[in-house]
Amino acid sequence: MTANHVKRAFKYRFYPTDAQAAELSRTFGCVRKVYNMALQARTEAWTRQERVNYNATSAMLTAWKKTDELAYLNEVSSVPLQQALRHLQVAFTNFFGKRAKYPRFKSRKKSRKSAEYTTSAFRFRDGKLTLAKMREPLDIVWSRALPEGASPTTVTVSQDAAGRWFVSILCDDPGIKPLPATGAAVGIDAGLNHLLALSTGNRRRDHLHKITTRLVRENQTLVIEDLTVRNMVKNRKLVRAISDAAWSEFRSMLEYKAQWYAREVIAVDRWFPSSKLCSTCGALQDKMPLNVRTWTCDCGATHDRDVNAAINLLAAGRAVTACGAGVRPQRSSPAGQSAMKQEVTRREP
């Protein structure tokens, strides 16, 4: 990926007029309705062992708009409705690829209120953003400048549970360029204690941004465990710890920054016994409970659990670089790509 094609989302708070708030609320409701109706249609087809794709649901949307019952769908911009169908397609693609669970219906109370607009549905001129179906530009608090000469490709408007309004503007960021190559490599163990120490309270994302940026800047190759957090949280004792440690967020940050700066992330199979393997002599321990943070091998070597695991991961990553066995490369799935577009609250150095 070249630096000219790195896209980044910049998030800002804005204050809509009463008319804009009403229009956006209608749009949120229509987006949720279309998504749920399309999901219902695809689910019914699935039970008949048929598959309905995006094009089919798009045709359904056209038909729905012509009915008296759903004529109100014509009152909002058609683009967010089409984007909802595209997001549903991605959700099914991830499901069929065994990267996610079966798509869920959107709840009026619990689901995120948002609408996505592409270039045909907004105008950005002289630092002012105007959405389709609106006469006035949004009153945005420009807490930081967009990249010079930025040309937004996607705009996502959302409202949080507290009623605050946000707009996320996706555009190319020419300021992100590959870093000079380095021969350094590092193994990263997702140890609960260390990540928890770095990732508590409202400062968690800031800590994760700082540590992932440092790791990517200092190392050409980064070796991590291919942990499936979704399965691990089924263990109730680990739910809170894993959620707080934000392993998924850490990995996503590491991967998209590695792509930005021409680095490589190698994921070692999650069954690799990095914690139970002595990094000095290679002896494998029978058990290694989570409460054991330091241990001594029969060879006499004393290990910090997380440091030992990181050393083993690095060795495994180097072995794979040489022979290509036992691990898989950095993810390139839609979910992995979308991580590069996640909303960033500040520019990375």
Rounded Cα distance between 265 and 220, Å, is 9
CA-nearest of 269, 166, 260, 162 to 209 is: 260
Query: What tokens were used for 168?
Result: 């996320």
Rounded Cα distance between 30 and 117, Å, is 14
Rounded Cα distance between 188 and 190, Å, is 6
What are the percentages of helix, strand and coil residues in the chain, rounded to 5? 45, 20, 40
306 an active-site residue? yes
Catalytic residue among 116, 255, 306, 348: 306
Query: What tokens were used for 262?
Result: 């021409």
**Pair 45, 51: CB distance under 8 Å:** yes
Rounded Cα distance between 261 and 243, Å, is 28
Other C-beta atoms within 10 Å of 68: how many? 6
Catalytic residue among 225, 249, 255, 348: 225
269 an active-site residue? no
Q: ∠301-306-310 over CA atoms, to 5°?
A: 90
Pairing of strands 302-304, 294-296: antiparallel
Amino acid, single-letter form, for residue 60: M
298 an active-site residue? no
Q: CB burial class (10 A; 0-12, 13-18, 19+) of residue 217?
A: middle
Rounded Cα distance between 313 and 279, Å, is 10
Rounded Cα distance between 148 and 155, Å, is 17
Catalytic residue among 173, 189, 255, 348: 189
Rounded Cα distance between 325 and 328, Å, is 8
Pairing of strands 122-125, 302-304: unpaired
Other C-beta atoms within 10 Å of 309: how many? 25
DSSP 72: G
Residues annotated as catalytic (active site), given as ranges? 189, 225, 306
